[in-house]
Amino acid sequence: MAKGIIFDIKRYAIHDGPGIRTTIFLKGCSLRCQWCQNPEGQRTEPEIILRSPRCATDCNQCVSVCPQDAISKDGNSIEIDKAKCDLCAECEEVCVYEALEVVGREVSVQEVMEEIKKDKIFFDESGGGITFSGGEPLMQVDFLEALLKEVKKKNIHVALDTSGYVSFEELDRISDKVDLFLYDLKIMDNKKHEKYTGVSNKLILDNLRKLAERGKSVAVRIPLVSGINDDDQSIQTLVNFLQSLKNINQIDLLSYHSGGREKYKRLKKEKLPKAFHSPSKERIEEIEKILADSGFSVKEGV
Amino acid sequence: MTAEESATYTDFALINTGGIKQDGSDAVNELSYLILDVVEEMRILQPSSMVQISEKTPDSFLKRALEIIKTGFGQPSVFNTDAIVQELIRQGKSVEDARNGGASGCVETGAFGKENYNLTGYFNLTKVFEITLNNGFDPQTGKEIGLKTGVASSFKSFEELFEAFKKQLKNFVDVKVKGNSVIERLYAEHLPSPFLSLLIDDCIAKGRDYHDGGARYNTSYIMGVGLGSITDILASVKYNIFDEKQITMQDLLKALENNFEEDETLRQRFLNKTPKYGNDDDYTDEIMKFVFEAYYDAVSGRPNTKGGFYEINLLPTTVHIYFGKVVGATPDGRKAAEPLSEGISPVQGADRKGPTAVLKSASKMDHVRTGGTLLNQKFTPHLLAGEDGIEKLAHLIRSYFKLNGHHIQLNVVTADMLRDAQKHPEKYRDLIVRVAGYSDYFVDIAVDLQNEIIKRTEHKSF
């Protein structure tokens, strides 16, 4: 059976689609959005995160247990030599302070299903279900497809949070098993999109158009970042594009928060991303109004 | 009960609203909503208020109650009428009397106007384990007060240890019931209540006082305290000593005796690397069920002196704090004198998988065989924001009640609690806050971001 790499399972997820949901975070993403809030979801492979404030100065367990001698420690500051580390996770096991954690673990479809089934009663009661998020879940399309098959056997509602940056064949492969697409649209201007996310938006826009043509249920999600995609022109281009599509009327606005930078520190990424900001409350309300006046149903995410 | 033990002077009157009528139909009416209006406007702490939610209760009533709960003063609490009715019927009440009943005091069920149901005393389950681990000896007072059920290091398996615990448990319930009988007779013979006897059914017909078996039903409750603590303690012993063989019983006893002074690493292992109740994990939840069954078997169905029976409920009022003071360090990583868990809630900070996991764990016991259980659940304001938040919370509660949960009290996390979490992160390891498009453990995020969330929490005008 197919196996995949996930980095989190969150129960009582209430911001990722209708009802009470369990969100499965699949690891790996082709985009490198500079404001990424889940940087631990970018790389496909597992990696170690450090929560230094939890680390005990007088504890040396991780250093002594590491078979590769990859860990050094000064006070509560841990250094891991990534070249030596083979992610055996022995350090995580001995770290009773939970300062070291391997994010990303290989799981089978069955293991994920066990977790999913636990909250079935809440899904049934609330009209909720499962949301696959990431990362970009379609990066592991075989695993995702196998999972979707099992989830659908149980008659559970499925939402898929996607960047849309995948081949349409892959999207199409799973689209009949997805009840709701949460489709991220970041920047309409292609040059800007390339600059801030690392990839062109052409494929993303094309795929959205095709999904809409097939009558799929889609909610467009827009992460609002001040100075990047919140100006009048950006919003107008977005409106024009979405109005040219069939069947799209739900927009979720998500506001950016610099808190994600904290996670970069834990991941020991070489470069901390630039600090972006969310638009002001007033500006978000203005944008909401523009979108609503253009006939969209708008929800502000939190 | 002394002031030291209770630390509160509330009178425990509880206004029941909602529920069902004697014929089983929905009882919510205009007055029910008016009562909620008053509760909201006056924000009175006494009498306390609660709503009874049955399968037939309209969503609008539940949501109205949740809007008030959201304002963050802990009321009204939410009860499951359908569970209450089943509990009362199991205890032998007629269907009509059960439907006319409800919960009073903390969470205890009763057939209003027809029953003398008494809370006869709190029972410290964790203390019983401490005495078991010390072969009948109480290390806190230096006295031998229990049975000699065997030296801890002689137990070959978890099952043997648990058997000893059960024996000890039964013995202390024996002692308790013996004392109760004397007290019950004192009331019956020397403290009659003629006024109450006029109001409670069958006292006049039987010609007997309320305290002497005059009421139609006579129930004596013994309240089990610290279910989460005792479960985590037993799970830790099973996991670390018998299953994983991380440490020996001797080492454990030494660490407990020294209050973990030189064993902080071991304590952290108990706190962070050991299964905990409240995470929908069968390893611990099965142990919780063993404890539940043992306690139920020891108490339920014993006759009292009024022609009625003993039943259990699982509520602590505030005694879990006092009971904690008289128990030394425990194998769940709790230090000596710290509070025990309350009601059937997980140990503070032990539940890390969110509210659905807590409710699943708590629903694995058979609530119907109790006379009430108390579950407290913390909620951060972001989980309750907007109409959507209320809607989903309503579904969460309905699901718990489908699983036969008896009661849930929702406490909204306040800015003050978050400040306390900055000072005592170890107590708030489970606290998840919404940062923006994602959530994170509050105690893990940087101080400036914590401060911002505190500000946000303060300014959120519900």
The answer to whether the Cα torsion of B449, B453, B458, B459 is positive or negative is: positive
Instruction: Please tell me whether the peptide bond between B76 and the residue prior to it is cis, using omega within 30 degrees of 0.
Output: yes
Residue A277 is predicted with a pLDDT of 86
Residue B443 is predicted with a pLDDT of 84
pLDDT in tens, B108-166: 999 999 999 999 999 999 999 999 999 999 999 999 999 999 999 999 999 999 999 99
- Tokens read off for A136: 């970009």
Please judge whether B395 and A98 are an interchain contact, meaning their C-beta atoms are less than 8 angstroms apart.
no
Tokens 């919960």 sit on residue: B103
Q: What is d(CA B158, CA B164) in angstroms, rounded to the nearest whole number? A: 10
Shortest CA distance to A211 belongs to which of A237, A248, A265?
Answer: A248
Catalytic residue check, B106: yes
Which of B360, B434, B449 is facing A302, going by the closest CB pair? B434
Residue A263 is predicted with a pLDDT of 79
Q: What are phi and psi of A46, to 5 degrees?
A: -60, 155
pLDDT in tens, A168-224: 999 999 999 999 999 999 999 999 999 999 999 999 999 999 999 999 999 999 999
pLDDT greater than 90 at residue B446: no
Q: Chain A residues with CB inside 8 Å of B239's CB?
A: none
pLDDT greater than 50 at residue B461: no
Share of chain A above pLDDT 90, in %: 79
CA distance A146 to chain B (A): 25
Residue-range domain boundaries for chain A: 3-44+106-300, 47-103
Q: Chain B residues with CB inside 8 Å of A255's CB?
A: 436-437
Q: What is d(CA B193, CA B198) in angstroms, rounded to the nearest whole number? A: 9
Sequence letter at residue B166: K
Beta-sheet strands, E only, within chain A: 3-13, 21-26, 47-50, 71-74, 77-80, 100-103, 105-108, 129-133, 157-162, 180-184, 218-224, 250-255, 297-300
Q: What is d(CA B70, CA B65) in angstroms, rounded to the nearest whole number? A: 9
Q: By the 8 A CB rule, do B321 and B334 touch? A: no
Higher pLDDT, B456 or A12: A12
* Mean of pLDDT values over A222-244: 95
Question: How many of the other CB atoms lie within 10 Å of CB of B276?
Answer: 27
Q: By the 8 A CB rule, do B252 and B153 touch? A: no
Q: DSSP string of B115-182?
A: EEEEEEEEEEHHHHHHHHHTTTEETTTTEE-S-----GGG--SHHHHHHHHHHHHHHHHHHHHHHHHH
Please judge whether A11 and B264 are an interchain contact, meaning their C-beta atoms are less than 8 angstroms apart.
no
Shortest CA distance to A27 belongs to which of A13, A46, A9, A10?
Answer: A46
Name the CATH topology of A47-103.
Alpha-Beta Plaits (3.30.70)
Q: DSSP string of A113-156?
A: HHHHHHTHHHHHHHT-EEEEESS-GGGGHHHHHHHHHHHHHTT-
Q: Chain A residues with CB inside 8 Å of B385's CB?
A: 302
Shortest CA distance to A259 belongs to which of A10, A33, A37?
Answer: A37
Q: What is the model's pTM?
A: 0.93
Please judge whether B399 and A98 are an interchain contact, meaning their C-beta atoms are less than 8 angstroms apart.
no
pLDDT in tens, A77-106: 889 998 999 999 999 999 999 999 999 999
* Mean of pLDDT values over A219-248: 94
Residue B462 is predicted with a pLDDT of 35
pLDDT in tens, B298-357: 999 999 999 999 999 999 878 898 999 999 999 999 999 999 999 999 998 899 999 999
Q: What are phi and psi of B42, to 5 degrees?
A: -90, -20
* Mean of pLDDT values over A232-261: 88
In chain B, which residues touch A (CB < 8 A)?
264-265, 268-269, 271-273, 280, 353-357, 360, 382-383, 385-386, 388-389, 391-392, 395-396, 398-399, 402-403, 434-440, 444-446, 449
Residue B284 is predicted with a pLDDT of 98
Question: How many of the other CB atoms lie within 10 Å of CB of B320?
Answer: 23
Counting Cβ atoms within 10 Å, is residue B254 exposed (0-12), middle (13-18) or buried (19+)? middle
pLDDT in tens, B376-396: 988 888 788 878 889 999 999
* Mean of pLDDT values over B86-104: 97
pLDDT in tens, B262-288: 999 999 999 999 999 999 999 999 999
Catalytic residue check, B5: no
Whether domain A3-44+106-300 has CATH 3.20.20.70: the reply is: yes
Residue B2 is predicted with a pLDDT of 66
Residue B139 is predicted with a pLDDT of 96
